[in-house]
Amino acid sequence: MAIAAALLLAATGAASGKSSGRNCSRNLPQAPPGLPATVVVTTDCGLFRLGTNGSVTYAGKWKSPVPPVARGYWTDLAWYGLDHGHVLIGQGMKRLWRSRDTYTRGRYLNIGSVVVGRLRLAFSYYQGRQSRVLVARYGHAEHLVAQGEAPFVFTGSGDLVTWQERGHALVLREANGGERTLAPHAVDPQVDRANRIVFFRSARQLYEFDGNSVRRLASLPMLGLTGVPTVEPLGRLVAVHDRHRLVVVDHAGRLVASTALPRSRYRADGVSSPVAANADGTAVAFAVTSGKQVRDTAYLLARGTRKAHALLTEKLIGENPCGRATWLAWQGRWLLYANAGQQAAVVDSSSRSPGVELTDVIAKLPGLQANGEGMFNVDWA
């Protein structure tokens, strides 16, 4: 859940086990019955487990998945830090590398991206408005390989894929020092770090580079996408959507499912969550705001279908339209919905069992701030 991870990252260090002098483990509310699995809610106090038997227990402080020295991290837990001007790079709780050179005399370092490979790593940092891409073998000094580019992913053979920020060319920088252009104009490339695949648009076509070759997956107009689309890798699937339509294809370019999106008179409305695929790839879920971000509806789009159906609608709390972020997570046939307004629910995608609202119990947990700031995340245990 990328949005949830970003919220946690912004609040790193906030979970102290106390909130405004309160004891986080006392006077806890009851969870509603009917949860299919344990749900974990994170606040400034720490972690709270909502059990299937209606219990709510304090599970201790939130523990960062990266060391305290980390200043930022990505979904694969690759991170960077700074030690007396030297760049530190690691993954998870493990430090992998320390730069030979120093990159700042103060405390500020503008890192653009960090990419961890099997034999090498890469990172970009900005000097003024231009980025510099450096590559190093583990245990060795770094060297400059490009300027004005962003590193994306290492291929299985150890080559680095980069993207030119001005020319928008997608480039393969080979481990032996050679380079070749994969696409002269790649629009909005998106990387699947787990599978080492880069997706991009060019001339209204959707392409992928899997480390070996560039392949055209689909024509966007033929899929009914006429606006500016967003591409989201989903493991074995790829979702593409504009303001009017959402389409899912597989890596062979075959259409898996598609749906028209709800019409809205307000430009502020649209898809409000990352698209989430279930474990076996038979369905995806997504959320859409409506009424000028007054309501948020979670939809299910099943494989082989041409129309999504609504699972849940929440009237959004709060007045800040910048905070209308939603995230979704699957657990079997059950879908966990949560938004930045501290609302959450669990719904049965098969409609065989009633949904379970979690907003009321979450509001009674210690450590939540009324203005919506601070640490907040909801996930399956």
pLDDT digits (tens, 9 = 90+) for 295-350: 999 999 999 999 999 999 999 986 554 556 999 999 999 999 999 999 999 999 99
Query: How far apart are alpha carbons 329 and 321 in whole angstroms?
Result: 23
Q: Name the pLDDT band for 371 (thresholds 50, 70, 90).
A: confident
End-to-end CA gap in the chain: 13
pLDDT of residue 5: 39
Question: For all residues of the chain together, what is the average pLDDT?
Answer: 91
Tokens of 148: 């004005």
Query: How far apart are alpha carbons 224 and 304 in whole angstroms?
Result: 16
The per-residue pLDDT for range 228-244, each reduced to its tens digit, is: 999 999 999 999 999 99
pLDDT of residue 320: 52
Question: In terms of DSSP H, where are the helices of 122-166?
Answer: none
The three-point CA angle 1-26-365 to 5° equals 35
**pTM score:** 0.90
Amino acid identity at 220: L
| 3-class state of residue 9 by DSSP | helix
Q: What does residue 359 show for φ and ψ, rounded to 5 degrees? A: -60, -45
The per-residue pLDDT for range 85-108, each reduced to its tens digit, is: 999 999 999 999 999 999 876 667
DSSP label of 27: S
Token pair 């680095």: residue: 160
Q: Are 185 and 169 in contact (CB under 8 A)?
A: yes
In the chain, domain spans: 52-219
Starting at the edge strand that comes first in sequence, how are the strands of the sheet with 94-102 ordered? Answer: 70-73, 78-83, 86-91, 94-102
Neighbour count for residue 119 (Cβ, 10 Å): 10
Tokens of 203: 């001339």
Contacting residues for 57 by C-beta, under 8 A, at least 6 apart: 28, 48, 49, 51
Query: How far apart are alpha carbons 196 and 200 in whole angstroms?
Result: 13
Tokens of 4: 């949830």
